[in-house]
Amino acid sequence: MRAPVLTLGELREVEARFARADPPLMDRAGRATAEWARRMAADTGARILVVAGPGNNGGDAWVAARELQQTFHKVAVLDVAGGEPKAPEARAARSAFVAARGEVSQEWPEGPPPALVVDGLLGIGLLRDVDARIAALIDRMNGARVPILAIDVPSGLDATTGRMRATAVKAQRTITFIAHKPGLHTLDGPELCGDVVLDELALGSAVREIARGELLSPKDVGAWLAPRKRNSHKGDFGTLGIVGGNRGMVGAAILAARAALLAGAGRVRVGLLSPDAPAVDLRQPELMLRPVEETLESDVLVLGPGAGRSPSATSISLFERSMLPNAVASNKPLVLDADALNAVAFNDTLRADLVRRAAPTLATPHPAEAARMLRRETADVQGDRLDAALTLARSLNLHVVLKGVGSVCASPDGSFAINTTGNPGLASGGTGDVLAGLIGALLCQGLEARKALRYAVCLHGAAADTLVARGRGPIGLTASEIALECRRLLNLWTSQNPS
């Protein structure tokens, strides 16, 4: 498995299993923290300020302070709890630090700012907004304008959901232990965590036994698609059919189709719903603009880009009444995007048909579309993105990507992945259509549904990242540029994967 992600319940299971480990997990975590603190503070001669809270996170901080002191670093501890820690390892570390005349205070130290702040204030168990006293301390840490190393999770960030609890530490680096936590990589997490490094505390094999989640990165997915054989023809790479593009929204379906062609689908048919649709795409004449009925005969279908949304549950378009149900009833892989998802949200019959499908169904909702499908508020979906994605996947038998910062891919069996690529350049019209086309193209080339979804999501974000690295955004980055860059990266990744 790639970099593992554990839910809070799974993490507690691992911690309980190794509660009597030798050396203790807290000692291992504190020593790892100290090592990263040394790297970040270098040999400036200035102090390292360790902020120690009342829980296990604070225990890790006390161990780190003791370790740093033993290597002759100038260390001060801001003791937020003001008393003996609960954990035996933390008590021992505090006692050793104090006995060696370490500097301990209950207030922010006077004098020049430290070279580094180590954040051991709050840990992964945070379930409510921080109180005024802790918020003031967090603001002081951020206001110091020095690098911050967060232990396990930046204080104030919900490690499960990625939600900032009123305020949170903005770290330059977060060292997390045992496994990645979902909240580090989605919603507010990527903004607050900085560079995330994982120390498994020598528990890697035990973690992989139970982990249902993983992180997605280019080095992980790049080997999934094999290089093409010299003896290949277009029939080897499937025929993709894309249905959508109602009046005023033809561009959505065309963008999806162009992206699919650039991503390697053998042939791409486009069934446009607009009564005044063009007969040819002059910019991409390789696309076959065909009647919808013929398009629906393709090997793989992408349904919904620009199809037009019914204004209510009682107003049903031809797309929703006939075309979409017929496709769902087929034995073809389906990618449901945009207005196909809105149709599913309103239609109980369609929902039941999706649950019964034997062929794979993939869905690409943004948070508002996911909320409609779950019949919740958008804020509820964003409040726990992992739970929303997993619930959609299980309840409707979908491989689903909940788009957004740290897009969450979830499958019906409860497995999930959180994407690490992408940037604000993707926050522009048409990028979701490009993603739908990429997924369809990868299905046509033989990737199974789970891998096709995850590969496409990672590729899509990586294309935005490489364009921004070359100065093409994030402001003003377009969906068409993303599609072209996806082709370049797809060929690069595939060429690095010898058959």
Question: Is 376 found in the same domain as 323?
Answer: yes
What are the E-state strand segments in 310-380?
A: 334-336, 361-363
In a domain, 460, yes or no: yes
DSSP secondary structure letters along 240-309:
EEEEE--TT-HHHHHHHHHHHHHTT-SEEEEEE--TT--SS-SS-TTSEE--HHHHTTSSEEEE-TT---
Is-cis flag, bond preceding 190, omega within 30? no
Total count of domains within the chain: 2
Question: What per-residue confidence (pLDDT) applies to 311?
Answer: 47
- The last residue of a domain, from among 164, 189, 211: 211
Question: Is 274 found in the same domain as 133?
Answer: no
Query: Which DSSP helix (H) or strand (E) runs through 104?
Result: strand 103-105
- The last residue of a domain, from among 162, 181, 211: 211
Question: Is 449 found in the same domain as 323?
Answer: yes
Q: Cα-atom radius of gyration of the chain, to the nearest Å?
A: 26
CB-count exposure of residue 351 (10 Å: 0-12, 13-18, 19+): middle
Q: Which residues contact 131 (CB under 8 A, 6 or more apart)?
A: none
CB-count exposure of residue 427 (10 Å: 0-12, 13-18, 19+): middle
Question: Is 395 found in the same domain as 301?
Answer: yes
Question: What per-residue confidence (pLDDT) applies to 162?
Answer: 97
Question: How many other CB atoms are found less than 10 A from the CB of residue 294?
Answer: 12
**pLDDT digit string, tens, across residues 340-357:** 999 999 899 999 999 999
Question: What per-residue confidence (pLDDT) applies to 312?
Answer: 46
Question: Is 295 found in the same domain as 252?
Answer: yes
**AA letter at 181:** K
In a domain, 32, yes or no: yes
Question: Is 302 found in the same domain as 190?
Answer: no
Question: Is 307 found in the same domain as 170?
Answer: no
Question: Is 188 found in the same domain as 228?
Answer: no
Question: What per-residue confidence (pLDDT) applies to 43?
Answer: 64
Question: Is 276 found in the same domain as 165?
Answer: no
CA distance 288 to 206: 51
Expressed as residue numbers, the domain containing 454 is: 221-495
Question: What per-residue confidence (pLDDT) applies to 431?
Answer: 98
* Backbone torsions φ then ψ of 260, nearest 5 degrees: -65, -40
Question: What per-residue confidence (pLDDT) applies to 496?
Answer: 81
Question: Is 258 found in the same domain as 401?
Answer: yes
Question: What per-residue confidence (pLDDT) applies to 321?
Answer: 86
CA distance 306 to 313: 18
Q: Which residues contact 148 (CB under 8 A, 6 or more apart)?
A: 116, 117, 118, 119, 141, 142, 154, 169, 170, 171, 172, 173, 194
In a domain, 204, yes or no: yes
In a domain, 317, yes or no: yes
Question: What per-residue confidence (pLDDT) applies to 92?
Answer: 87
In a domain, 216, yes or no: no
Question: Is 267 found in the same domain as 202?
Answer: no
Residues of the chain with pLDDT under 70: 1, 43-45, 310-316, 498-499
Secondary structure in 3-state letters for 53-77 = CCCHHHHHHHHHHHHHHHCCCCEEE
**pLDDT digit string, tens, across residues 286-308:** 999 999 999 999 999 999 999 98
- The length of the chain in residues reads 499
Question: Is 203 found in the same domain as 234?
Answer: no
Average pLDDT value for the chain: 94
CA distance 316 to 142: 52
- The last residue of a domain, from among 211, 243, 276: 211
Q: What is the CATH number of the domain that holds 55?
A: 3.40.50.10260
Q: What is the CATH number of the domain that holds 274?
A: 3.40.1190.20
Is-cis flag, bond preceding 474, omega within 30? yes
Question: What per-residue confidence (pLDDT) applies to 100?
Answer: 85
Question: Has this prediction a pTM greater than 0.75?
Answer: yes
No. of H helices and E strands in the chain? 20, 18
